[in-house]
Chain A
Amino acid sequence: MNYKDLSKIEFDICVIGSGAGAGPVIYELSKAGYKVVVLEKGPWFRTKDFSKDELVATRRSVYTPNLKDEPQVIEQEDVMGNWKAQSNYETGNDFWNGNCVGGSSNFMSGYFSRLKPKDFKLLSAYGKIEGANISDWPIAYEDLEPYYTKVEHLIGVSGKVVKHKFLEPRSTPDFPYPPLKENYVSQLIDKAASDLNLQTIPLPRAIISQNKGDRNACYYSNYCGSYGCSSDAKGSSRVSLIREALKTGNCTVVPNAKVFYLEADAPDKVSKAFYYTPEGAKEFIRAKIFVVAAQAVETSRLLLMSKNKFFPNGLANNNGQVGKNLIFSAGGVGGGDLFYKDFSEKIAKKLAEPGVFVNRTLQEFYELQDPKSGKKMKGGTIDFLWEHANPVSKAIRQKWDENGNLLYGTRLQNKLYRYFNDLRKLKFEIFVDWLPTDNCYVSLDDKVKDKWGDPVAKIRIGHHPHDIKIGNILAEKAEMLMKKLGAKNIYSGVSGYPPSNLQAGGCRFGNDPATSVLDKNCKAHELENLYVTDGSFMPTGGSVTYTWTIYANSFRVADKILERLKR
Chain B
Amino acid sequence: MKRRNFIKTLISVGILSQIPLGLSCSRDNKAIIIPKNEVLKPSQRNVVLFFLNKLFPENNGVPGIAELNTYQHLNNYLQDANVDIDDKNYLIKGISWIEESANETFQKEFKDLNYEQKQELFKQILKEDWGESWASRLLTLIFESLLLDPLYDVNLQQSGWNWLHHIPGNPEPDEQNHYKKLLAAKTKPEIITQISQL
Contact = CB atoms under 8 A, between A and B. Distances in A.
Interface of A: 1-3, 6, 42-46, 48-56, 59-62, 66-68, 89, 219, 221-223, 227, 230, 243, 246-247, 249, 251-256, 277-279, 354, 389, 391-392, 395-396, 399, 405-406, 408-410, 412-413, 416-417, 420-421
B148 A54 contact: yes
A89 B85 CA distance: 11
A395 B146 contact: yes
Q: Which 4 A-B residue pairs are closest in the complex by CB-CB distance?
A: A52-B169, A223-B169, A53-B173, A391-B147
A54 B140 CA distance: 13
A412 B62 CA distance: 11
Interface string B52-68: 00111101001000000
Given A44-B198, A406-B132, A409-B55, A62 B147 contact: no
B136 interface: yes
B82 interface: yes
A502 B68 CA distance: 36
Contacts of A354: 167
Contacts of A417: 62, 163-164
Contacts of A46: 198
Nearest to B63: A413
A410 B57 contact: yes
A409 B139 CA distance: 10
Contacts of A399: 136, 139-140
B190 A221 contact: no
Contacts of B149: 53-55
B114 interface: no
Interface in B74-124: 80, 82-85
5 contacts: A6-B191, A53-B172, A221-B169, A278-B187, A410-B59
A254 B192 CA distance: 6
A406 B169 contact: no
B134 to A, nearest CB: 10
B144 A392 contact: yes
A41 to B, nearest CB: 10
A50 B169 CA distance: 11
Contacts of A410: 57, 59
A254 B85 CA distance: 30
Interface stretch (B11-19, B41-49, B177-185): B177-185
A408 B139 contact: yes
Contact of B143 (A50, A219, A392): A392
A89 B151 CA distance: 29
Contacts of A66: 82, 84
B168 interface: yes
Contacts of A44: 185, 190, 192, 198
B191 A49 contact: no
A420 B166 CA distance: 8
Contacts of A2: 191
Given A51-B173, A52-B171, A408-B54, A413 B136 contact: no
A417 to B, nearest CB: 7
Nearest to A49: B177
Given A45-B185, A48-B177, A55-B179, 6 more contacts: A43-B186, A50-B177, A55-B152, A256-B187, A396-B140, A413-B59
A66 B86 CA distance: 12
A222 B167 contact: yes
Contact of A406 (B59, B126, B151, B195): B126
A422 B186 CA distance: 41
B164 A420 contact: yes
A6 to B, nearest CB: 7
Contacts of B167: 222, 354, 389
Given A44-B192, A252-B192, A391-B164, A52 B172 contact: yes
Interface in B151-179: 151-152, 161, 163-174, 176-177, 179
B169 A222 contact: yes
Given A392-B143, A413-B56, A51 B193 contact: no
A53 B135 contact: no
Contacts of B2: none
Contacts of A1: 191, 193
A51 B172 contact: yes
A251 B57 CA distance: 56
A60 B177 CA distance: 14
Contact of B179 (A45, A60, A277, A392): A60
B83 A60 contact: yes
Given A66-B84, A392-B143, A413-B62, A56 B173 contact: yes
A2 B85 CA distance: 34
Contacts of B148: 53-55, 59, 392
Contacts of B143: 392, 395-396
B195 A247 contact: yes
Contacts of B193: 1, 246, 249, 251-253
B164 to A, nearest CB: 4
Nearest to A99: B186
Contact of B182 (A45, A251, A252, A412): A45
B84 A56 contact: no
Contacts of B84: 66-68, 89
A3 B191 CA distance: 8
Contact of B165 (A48, A389, A395, A421): A421
Contacts of A59: 144, 148
Contacts of B188: 43, 255-256, 278
B172 to A, nearest CB: 6
A396 B142 CA distance: 10
Contacts of A230: 170-171
Contacts of B171: 51-52, 230
Nearest to B58: A413
B192 A253 contact: yes
Contacts of B186: 42-43, 62, 256, 278
Contacts of B56: 408-409, 412-413
B89 to A, nearest CB: 12
B85 A68 contact: yes
A53 B192 contact: no
B151 to A, nearest CB: 8
A213 B153 CA distance: 38
A221 B176 CA distance: 19
